[in-house]
Amino acid sequence: MQQRKLGNNGPQVPALGLGCMGMSISYGVPNDEESIATMHRALELGVNLLVTSDAYGNGVNEELVGRAIKGRRDKFLLATKFGNLALAGGGGTGLSGGHPDYVPQACDKSLKRLGVDVIDIYGLHRVDPTVPIEDTVGAMKKLVEQGKVRYLALSEAGPQTLRRAYKVHPIVALETEYSLWSRDVDFLTATMKTLDALLPKDRRRDHPRFLADNIQHNAELLAPLEKIAAARKCTPAQVALAWVLAQGEDIVPIPGTKRRPYLEQNAASLEVKLTGEEIAALAKAFPLNVTAGTRYPEKQLKALGI
């Protein structure tokens, strides 16, 4: 498996990680047995970076990851997050997600659910607008000093916040959506051209880009992607991932899946080497803001880019 380095002082990680959220929430009915088998298969393929959060099922996904890595902890890189109380169900502590007193409480709970002594990459899932980022990262820094966490990350943070955070402690990664269509990799599998492709419990049914008024427009954007995929005898999803991988050695895609066949397809995208002409053609076909509809419903957009 190809390796990439996170930040100037971060760890070496596989060029592709595995997002674990969908194994427990949001995208249909969970299948723990298959999800654990998928994580084990990921290790065989060298995709040993698992990315989760305490907000995914209010700890359920971390517990699932903990079951999967039991007895082989040293072979995996674990990344988890905290502070997205809206998704996690409120937190139950009376503290906001970025409060310095909440940070160690969240970390200890994650360590217990994961069944580990240290978390490799610990991230703030959503910036807390009520707490200076310096205070939140200051509390996270203490976790590093205590040996509970190795590296720090932020999720969906704006550039000014990232700069301020870095002055307190090095931030090795910024987790954010980035792909050809703004960038939501899900749609670029070219398999979701109508709502019928989504299961009844798939949360994307509530996302504006998948509403009836927008999905047809967005489906029409896929022709160039499908053309390249057909010529290369691979899937559109593999082309989409190959495009992201080609944007820089500092980018590590973490596509999520709960099934082994899709994991294997994603891993194979590393073998798809797009030409400069293909990269340019895709960028032209998917200019900024080309898609109809926003990434998330309006209430969720307010927490992005703070």
Give the catalytic positions in this structure.
56
223, exposed or middle or buried, with CB in 10 Å at 0-12, 13-18, 19+? exposed
Q: Going by C-beta distance under 8 Å and a sequence separation of 6 or more, which residues neighbour residue 86?
A: 126, 300, 303
What 8-state DSSP symbol labels residue 215?
A: H
H/E run at residue 81:
strand 77-82
Rounded distance between C-alpha atoms, residue 126 and residue 233, angstroms: 39
The SS3 of residue 207 is coil
Residue (of 15, 60, 54, 22) closest to 38 by Cα position: 22
- Provide the token pair at 35: 């999800």
Q: What is the CA radius of gyration of the chain?
A: 19
Rounded distance between C-alpha atoms, residue 167 and residue 188, angstroms: 37
Angle made by CA atoms 3, 4, 6, in degrees to the nearest 5: 140
The SS3 of residue 197 is helix
